[in-house]
Chains A and B, each alone.
Chain A
Amino acid sequence: MTRVHEVIAFDSVGFRYPDDTAWLVEDLSFSIQAGERVVMTGPSGCGKSTILYLINRLYPENCDGELKGHITIFGRHALEYAPGEVNHRVATVFQDPDSQFCMRTVEEELAFTLENLRTPRSEMDGKIADVLRLTELTEFRDAVIQQLSGGEKQRIALACALIMEPEILLLDEPLSHLDPLSARSFVCLLDRLQQERGFTVVAIEHRLDLWGRFFNRELELQGQPQLSGIKKRTPSIRKESALRVEKLCTSTFLQQASFTLQKGEVAVLAGQNGSGKSTMLKALAGLVPAKGTVAPKTLGYVPQSPEFLFVSKTVEEEIAYGGGQKSREIMEAMQLEQVAGSHPFAVSHGQKRRVAIAAMLNDGRDVILMDEPTSGQDAVSLQELSRLIDERAREGTAFLIVTHDMEFAYAIADRILLMKDGSLTGAFQADDVWREPKLLEAHRLLAPKGAMEYEASFA
C-alpha cells in the first residue's frame, strides 16, 4: 500500500437531522490520502460522529437525515454503494465497549464478521487465528466477552475490525472508557498494526494526550474555544472535618479502609478497572452492606448516569423530593431555574449532573461521591464539571470522585486516594503523587503532562 491516492473526499458537504432546521455540518471539505493517520477534533455536538457515520454509510440511511454536497469514497460516489458494501472496506471501532458485540465468545464474534463478509468456511478458522495472533489475543479465543475488562473489549473490537482487512479504520473515541495504561497499550498496538498493514486511520477524539505522536494530521471542526486543558484550581480546604471513615469493609471484596475528608476538600479515588473504586463509593453511600463507621451516615452519591437517581417529573420536584427546605436557594445557586419545570430526563447531561448534586445538597448530604463523571465527556463538558466541583467546594462541600482521567484529577484534586485489588493503598497529597511514577505504575495510572513524555516505542 505504498501508492498514495485519495481514499476519502468530502466536497462542500452539509448534513442535518430530519427534525432540525439548522445544518449540523455545513460546507465541509477535506480529503484523506491512503495510509494517513488523521484525527478529527471538536466539541461535542459539532458533528464529529456524524462525519464518521457518513464515511461508513450508517448515515444518512439510518436517520433519514438530509445530505448535500459530494462524498467520494475510494474514488466512487458514496451514494452508489449498496447497503453494507462499503463496510467491507471500512471498519469501525466504537466508543462504548459494552454495546458493540452481539455474540457470546470472542471466536463467535469474529466468525460473525466473517459470515457477513461471506468468507468461505474453510478459510474462517485460519483468519480468526491470524487476527488473534496479530492483536495478541490468542488466549482469549474462547473467552466470554461480557466478562472481560474494558481494555480487553476494545482490543477485541479492534480485532473484529481488522479481520475484515479494511483499507480504512474508523475510531470513535476508542479510549474514553479505558484506564490510562490500557489506553496507552491500545495506542501502541494500533501503532504497530498500522505500520504493518498500512491502512488509513481516521479517528475522532477530544483528548489527544494519550495518543502521543500517533496522528500525523489533525482536522479541527468548528472554531473550538481554545481549551489548553482545565485550569488547576486553588485548594479550598477548611479546618472542619466533613467525613470520617473507619475500618470500612465489605464481607467479600473491600479490605478495611480508613480516611477522613475536610470540608471543601476535593479528593480523587483512582486505580485500575476492577480495583474496587465503585464498590468503595457504594459502601460509603450505604448502597451495599458494609461494616465499619462512616460519619455522617448520609452521603450524596452521583452515579455515572445521573438519571439513575431521578424519580420525579420536573427538575424542581426532583430537587425537593427528599423533603429539604432550601430547594429554591439551591436551584438558584446551581443555575437551574431556567429548567425548573423541565423533565429531568430532558435536560442536558451537564444539567442532569447539576440536578443530581442539587438534590443531594437539598437532602442535607454535604459530602458528594461521584462515580466516573469524566468518562465519555468532551473538553467543554469536562470544563463545566470542574467548574461545578470548584464552585461547590468553595461553599464547603467535600467531594470524593472516581476517575480515570489523570489530567482532570491533576486539575481538581487536593488529595489522591489510590486503590488496588480491593484495598485502599494510601491517601496522598495530589502534588506528591505525580512525582512517583513507580507508585502510579503499580496502580496502572499515568502521570499527567510532564510524565507523559513519549518513549521510543511511539517513534
Chain B
Amino acid sequence: MKQALHKMNPSVKFLIITVCMLTLAFFFNPWTPLICWGGVILLQLCFSTIDWKKWLLFMIPFLIMSFGYFWTTIVFAEDRTGAVVWSVFQYDITRTQLDHALSLSFRVLAFAGLSLLFAFTTDPTKFILSLMQQLKLSPKIAYSILVGYQFLPVMKEEFVHIQQAHRLRGAVRDRNAIVRLWNVRRLLLPMLAGAVRKAERSAFAMEARGFTGEKRVEFYQVVRVGKNDVVMSALFIFILAAGCAITLK
C-alpha cells in the first residue's frame, strides 16, 4: 500500500497529472488549488515512501515564488472593489484583492506539488519504457534519452577533471559570479568535443547490436497498466472533483 504511487504506471500517472494541471488552470479561486495541493500531499503521505526532507528542500523555491505572487498581486492590484478585510500600515486590502492573490499563490503551490509528486515517485528508466509501451513513443527517441541518462555521471566526472586541469594552468576562480559563469565556456569546449566523440561511438555500438529504431514488439521489461492504476487515478480525480465542486455551491 505504501508503494502505490511508486508502482503506478508512469504514463498513466503522467496523463492524470496533466489532466489535473489543465483543469486547475480553468479554476480561478483560492479553494480549488488549495484543496488539490493538500490532497496531493495527503496522497503522498499515505501512498509513497518519499524523502520528506528532500521534498521540503525542493518546495522552498516554489514557496518563495508563491509568496512573491501573493504580495505583488496585493500591492499592484487593479481591481480594488469589495469590502475591506484587512488594513496594514493604512493600506486597505479588499476581498477581491485577497482572493486574487491567494488564487495565484495557491495555484503555484498546487502545480509544484503535482510536479514534485511525479518527480519523486517515478523511476526515469521506467517512465521512458512506459512511454514507449503505452504511448507509442518512438524507440529512437526513447533510447537516445536513456543513453543520455547513462552519460550524465560520466560528463560530471569529466567536468571535474577539466576544472582541475584548468586550475593547474592558473585559471583562477574569479570572485565575480558573472565572470565565473562566462569562464565556464572554456570548460564547455573540451566537454563538447568529448561528448560528440562519445555520442558517435555509442551510436555505432547501438547499431552494431542491431538497433534500427524500428517499433519493437517484444519487451523484456513490460510496464503494465493494472488495478492499482485505476484506484490511484480515481483518487486523483476525486481530489480534483472535490476542489472543483467547492466553487459550484
Convert B188-212 into 0s and 1s, putting 1 for each residue whose CB lies closer than 8 angstroms to a CB of A.
0110011000100111111111111
Q: Is the CB of B171 within 8 A of A311?
A: yes
Alpha-carbon gap, A359 to B170, bound state (A): 12
Does A197 lie at the interface of the complex (its beta carbon under 8 Å from any beta carbon of B)? no
Q: Is the CB of B186 within 8 A of A115?
A: no
Which A residues are in CB contact (< 8 Å) with B209?
87, 91-92, 112-113, 116, 160-161, 164
| Given known contacts A301-B168, A311-B186, A321-B169, A84 and B150 CB-to-CB distance under 8 angstroms | no
* A53: nearest chain-B partner, CB-CB: B204
Q: Is the CB of B169 within 8 A of A345?
A: no
Chain A residues numbered 68-123 whose CB sits less than 8 Å from any CB in chain B: 83-84, 87-88, 91-92, 94, 96, 98-104, 108, 111-121
Q: Is the CB of A58 within 8 A of B204?
A: yes
| Given known contacts A88-B210, A121-B218, A308 and B150 CB-to-CB distance under 8 angstroms | no
Q: Choose one: B150, B169, B216; the contact of A115 (CB below 8 Å).
A: B216
Does B153 lie at the interface of the complex (its beta carbon under 8 Å from any beta carbon of A)? yes
Alpha-carbon gap, A146 to B155, bound state (A): 12
Alpha-carbon gap, A111 to B220, bound state (A): 6
Since A111-B220, A308-B162 are in contact, a sample of 10 more A-B pairs with Cβ atoms closer than 8 Å, ordered by chain A residue number, is A84-B211, A94-B205, A99-B201, A103-B125, A103-B150, A112-B220, A115-B220, A116-B212, A120-B218, A311-B171
29 A–B pairs (Cβ distance < 8 Å), ordered by A: A53-B204, A84-B211, A84-B214, A87-B209, A87-B210, A100-B205, A102-B143, A103-B150, A112-B143, A114-B218, A115-B216, A115-B219, A121-B222, A124-B218, A145-B150, A146-B153, A161-B209, A164-B209, A286-B168, A288-B164, A303-B161, A307-B190, A308-B165, A309-B169, A310-B190, A311-B169, A323-B170, A345-B189, A345-B190
Which B residues are in CB contact (< 8 Å) with A99?
198, 201-202, 205
| Given known contacts A102-B202, A108-B220, A83 and B147 CB-to-CB distance under 8 angstroms | no
**Chain A interface SS verdict (over half):** loop
Minimum CB–CB distance from B171 to chain A (whole Å) comes to 6
Does A282 lie at the interface of the complex (its beta carbon under 8 Å from any beta carbon of B)? yes
Q: Is the CB of A282 within 8 A of B210?
A: no
Q: Is the CB of B210 within 8 A of A101?
A: no
Alpha-carbon gap, A296 to B248, bound state (A): 79
Alpha-carbon gap, A288 to B169, bound state (A): 15
Residues of chain B at the chain A interface (Cβ within 8 Å): 125, 143, 146-147, 150, 153-154, 161-162, 164-171, 186, 189-190, 193-194, 198, 201-212, 214, 216-222
Q: Choose one: A92, A146, A161; the contact of B150 (CB below 8 Å).
A: A146
Q: Is the CB of B204 within 8 A of A94?
A: yes
Does A342 lie at the interface of the complex (its beta carbon under 8 Å from any beta carbon of B)? no
Alpha-carbon gap, A91 to B205, bound state (A): 10
Which A residues are in CB contact (< 8 Å) with B210?
84, 87-88, 113, 116-117, 164
Which A residues are in CB contact (< 8 Å) with B221?
108, 111
Which B residues are in CB contact (< 8 Å) with A301?
165, 168
Q: Is the CB of A282 within 8 A of B164?
A: yes
Chain A residues numbered 28-74 whose CB sits less than 8 Å from any CB in chain B: 53, 56, 58, 62
Residues of chain A at the chain B interface (Cβ within 8 Å): 53, 56, 58, 62, 83-84, 87-88, 91-92, 94, 96, 98-104, 108, 111-121, 124, 145-146, 160-161, 164, 170, 282, 285-288, 301, 303, 305, 307-311, 321-323, 345, 359, 363
Alpha-carbon gap, A287 to B170, bound state (A): 12
Minimum CB–CB distance from A85 to chain B (whole Å) comes to 9
* B209: nearest chain-A partner, CB-CB: A113
Minimum CB–CB distance from A314 to chain B (whole Å) comes to 14
| Given known contacts A101-B150, A303-B161, A322 and B170 CB-to-CB distance under 8 angstroms | yes
Q: Is the CB of B154 within 8 A of A115?
A: no
Alpha-carbon gap, A121 to B224, bound state (A): 15
Which B residues are in CB contact (< 8 Å) with A359?
169
* A278: nearest chain-B partner, CB-CB: B161
Alpha-carbon gap, A103 to B167, bound state (A): 34
* A282: nearest chain-B partner, CB-CB: B164
* B208: nearest chain-A partner, CB-CB: A92
Q: Is the CB of A121 within 8 A of B219?
A: yes
Which B residues are in CB contact (< 8 Å) with A53?
204
Which A residues are in CB contact (< 8 Å) with B164?
282, 287-288
* B152: nearest chain-A partner, CB-CB: A146
The 3 closest A-B pairs by CB, nearest first: A111-B220, A100-B205, A84-B212
| Given known contacts A114-B220, A120-B218, A309 and B168 CB-to-CB distance under 8 angstroms | yes
Which A residues are in CB contact (< 8 Å) with B202?
99-100, 102
* A318: nearest chain-B partner, CB-CB: B169
Which B residues are in CB contact (< 8 Å) with A98?
154, 198
Minimum CB–CB distance from B115 to chain A (whole Å) comes to 24
